[in-house]
Amino acid sequence: MNMKLNYYPDTDSLYIDLSERPSTESREISEGVILDYDASGRLVGIDIDNASNKVELKKLVLSKLPSKVETEAA
């Protein structure tokens, strides 16, 4: 399973892609925070609107991950 964090500055949204499975259902759990689920009810993504007001975007710390970490230039 691959996990990706994608920030879109033009819309100030952060999408945390937890799976390569397609989303079939979305639920807003708080204002501007939406969870995406696949057909089996498994969480596949998290969408955060107005991310710069909700998440500290200046620093990302990865700790004790069981796999390889890759980065892509913006």
Residue 18 lies in a domain: yes
Residue 23 three-state SS: coil
Question: pLDDT digit string (tens) for 24-68?
Answer: 999 999 999 999 999 999 999 999 999 999 888 787 777 777 777
**What is the pLDDT, as a whole number, of residue 33?**
97
Residue 66 lies in a domain: no
For residue 54, what are the contacts with CB-CB under 8 A and spacing of at least 6?
Answer: 32, 33, 48
Number of structural domains the chain divides into: 1
Residue of 47, 42, 57 whose CA lies nearest to 1: 42
Residue 36 three-state SS: strand
* pLDDT over 70 (residue 73): no
Q: Which residue has the higher pLDDT, 24 or 72?
A: 24
**What is the pLDDT, as a whole number, of residue 19?**
92
Q: Which residue has the higher pLDDT, 60 or 10?
A: 10
Residue type, 58: K
For residue 40, what are the domain limits? Answer: 4-54
Computed over its alpha carbons, how large is the radius of gyration of the chain?
13
**What is the pLDDT, as a whole number, of residue 62?**
72
